[in-house]
């Protein structure tokens, strides 16, 4: 149900990060720079003049250290991946230690837990960029989506937030009732070519809250998503002819340059924590 390939070479060439962790800052930072504690930091630009998903050598392009873990009771084994992002990598300050824990539970849930610490103040925004196609092939335009989100962050032509938060009512972004992905997608062409929008979620940041239900009427497969994050990027795989749907749980794009958005700054002595749960079932 996630886009892939028959071998690692083809996977890296065609998908280049599908289902990978994105960081140090998922999504976009305007003009590839930000100012923190009076210091301007210049980042690696890889999306025009902007930085996307942490730069050209982001967390999906590096080798993580992995270890499988089996709890004493043998239930819910998990894999833990660790990566240390050195001070100055892609322009970001501080040595950042990141851990991502993947657990497949007995309830058919894939639980993704993120944790990070730093020795210097730095922005942190992590997500998983899985390209889901519940049908197992073809496009995903007939998938139905429900989103518990009645607001989104308005962006400019470069997909950089303007700072405005607007209602989805009366727009193609209204998924507050289950709607086909392809029902109104033509209204978003030629730019951005489909869905590539950040939705505002009602999350307390502590316990994962249900915000999305994606279903495929043909196969009967259903995926529900819960998260502790305040936002989610809905991306309809526009560069892959809408072959999948991404639900990238995250903080808002360009938050380091948007003081009214929830802060993404992690400081020494603090621990970044985030959880997203993908739960799978079939239609009743």
Residue 248: active-site member: yes
Give domain 8-282's CATH architecture: Distorted Sandwich (2.70)
Burial of 95 (0-12, 13-18, 19+ CB in 10 A): middle
Give the span between the Cα atoms of 104 and 277, in whole angstroms. 10
Give the span between the Cα atoms of 111 and 229, in whole angstroms. 14
Q: Supply the pTM of this predicted model.
A: 0.96
Give the span between the Cα atoms of 71 and 134, in whole angstroms. 30
Give the span between the Cα atoms of 88 and 105, in whole angstroms. 37
Residue 239: active-site member: no
CA neighbor of 274 nearest in space, from 132, 153, 128: 128
Sheet arrangement for strand 161-167: 161-167, 151-155, 196-200, 231-235, 246-250
Give the span between the Cα atoms of 268 and 141, in whole angstroms. 44
* 48-69 tens-digit pLDDT: 999 999 999 999 999 999 999 9
Catalytic residue, candidates 53, 129, 197, 242: 129
* 117-149 tens-digit pLDDT: 999 999 999 999 999 999 999 999 999 999 999
* 64-115 tens-digit pLDDT: 999 999 888 878 899 999 999 999 999 999 999 999 999 999 999 999 999 9
Catalytic residue, candidates 89, 109, 229, 248: 248
Position 14 pLDDT exceeds 70: no
């Amino acid at each position: 149900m996630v886009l892939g390939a028959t071998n690692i070479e083809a996977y890296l060439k065609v998908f280049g990060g599908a289902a990978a962790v994105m960081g140090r800052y998922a999504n976009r930072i305007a003009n590839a720079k930000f100012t923190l504690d009076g210091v301007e930091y210049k980042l690696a630009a890889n999306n025009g003049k902007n930085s996307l998903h942490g730069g050209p050598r982001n967390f999906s392009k590096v080798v993580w250290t992995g270890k499988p873990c089996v709890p004493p009771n043998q239930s819910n084994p998990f894999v833990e991946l660790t990566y240390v992002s050195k001070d100055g990598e892609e322009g970001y300050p501080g040595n950042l230690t990141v851990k991502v824990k993947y657990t497949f539970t007995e309830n058919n849930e894939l639980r993704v837990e993120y944790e990070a610490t730093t020795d210097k103040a730095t922005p942190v925004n992590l997500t998983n960029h899985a390209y889901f196609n519940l049908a197992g092939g073809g496009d995903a335009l007939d998938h139905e989506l429900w989103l518990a989100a009645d607001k989104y962050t308005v962006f400019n032509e470069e997909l950089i937030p303007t700072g405005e938060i607007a209602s989805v009512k009366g727009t193609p972004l209204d998924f507050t009732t289950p709607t086909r992905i392809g029902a109104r997608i033509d209204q978003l062409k030629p730019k951005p070519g489909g869905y590539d929008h950040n939705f505002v979620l009602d999350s307390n940041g502590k316990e994962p809250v249900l915000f999305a239900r994606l279903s495929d009427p043909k196969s009967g497969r259903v995926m529900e998503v819960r998260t502790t994050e305040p936002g989610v990027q809905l991306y309809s795989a526009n560069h892959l002819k809408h072959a999948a749907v991404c639900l990238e749980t995250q903080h808002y794009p360009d938050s380091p340059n948007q003081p009214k958005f929830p802060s993404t700054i992690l400081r020494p002595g603090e621990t970044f924590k985030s959880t997203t749960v993908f739960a799978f079932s079939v239609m009743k």
